[in-house]
Amino acid sequence: MPVTPTRPPTAALRRAAAVLLLLGALAYTAWVLELVVATGLDPVQAYVSELAAADQPLGGLFRATDLVAGLLVLAGALTALTAQERRAWTTAGWAALALFGAATAADSRLPLSCAPTDDPVCAARETAGLVPATHTAHAVSSSLAMAGALAALVLLTVAARRYGLSPLRRLGPPLVLAELAATLWTLAAVAAFSAGRGTWALGAGQRLQVLLVACYVALLACCLARAPERPGPAEDTRDRERQGPPEGESPGQRHRERPREDHGRRPRRGDR
């Protein structure tokens, strides 16, 4: 019995995933509003998440945008996972992006109570362990979100290189390298701040980190929107090989047939 070929992903699902991811990327960059709205925090020194702290005047706004961003990216990643062909690298990459979205949404529900980089009293209370448990929970959810984002960047870039997904195939590697550099900067600055050695431009490093993640998610949306409806010629060939020969044709029949252009060829000297 011939094997039924796998149904190609529908264009509607891909478009839906692309729209969700693009909107999620836009919502994830809501912190750029601090360029035009006075927040009272120094963008070069302060954590991005301090904009959403419970004691900040615009905290509710930024918590809402983080929640929306997380839910949109989660929905987009799950939709893309449903729409795309199941391959190891792509499946793992979309699952990691879904983790990023879920952790970002959870992060918005676990806000800091105050801004430690701006308020010395808050920093002292945090060091002494006198802040609410949401500070620790927020650190865990933020770590999960960035771990998921980094894993998604690496896995989906590898998938693009292996399966030829453009333009991610070209732009993915430099974005991954830039994201790794921004993450190392952020981690070093966090360690320095925790040790009382200043902030090392913590806010600038973290803002670069989250901006690159948003750019990558937007790039994924463009790739999904441009993805072809049917698999390429190489995939078609592999599918035909897995399905076997057409009904009524023996496995070796194709190999026994001689090319049409060989018929009627005059024998040359040395032919036997």
Nearest to 57 by CA among 138, 114, 123: 114
Type and span of the H or E element at 253: helix 253-256
- CA quadruple 262, 266, 271, 272: dihedral, nearest 10: 80
Q: In angstroms, rounded to a whole number, what is the distance separating the alpha carbons of residues 242 and 239?
A: 5
What residue spans of 109-201 are helical by DSSP H? Answer: 120-128, 134-163, 168-194
* pLDDT (average), residues 87-102: 96
Q: Does the structure show a pLDDT above 80 at 236?
A: no
Q: Work out whether the CA dihedral 5, 152, 60, 54 comes out positive or negative.
A: positive
| Cβ(114)–Cβ(55) below 8 Å | yes
pLDDT at position 272 over 80: no
The reported pLDDT for the residue numbered 163 is 84
For 214, the token pair is 């948003």
- Between residues 28 and 246, which one has the greater pLDDT? 28
Residue 47 pLDDT exceeds 90: yes
pLDDT of residue 64: 98
> d(Cα 128, Cα 89) in Å, to the nearest integer?
43
Overall average pLDDT of the 111-131 stretch: 94
Is residue 131 very low, low, confident or very high in pLDDT (cuts 50, 70, 90)? very high
Record the pTM.
0.80
User: Coil, helix or strand for 59?
Assistant: helix
Distances in Å between the Cα of 268 and the Cα atoms of 26, 140, 153, 271, 272 are 70, 78, 59, 6, 9
H/E stretch holding 25 reads: helix 11-28
* Mean per-residue pLDDT, 98-114: 97
User: What percent of the chain is modeled with pLDDT above 90?
Assistant: 69
Q: Could you give the C-alpha distances from 19 to 56, 218, 225, in angstroms and in order?
A: 31, 9, 9
The answer to whether 224 touches 80, Cβ cutoff 8 Å, is yes
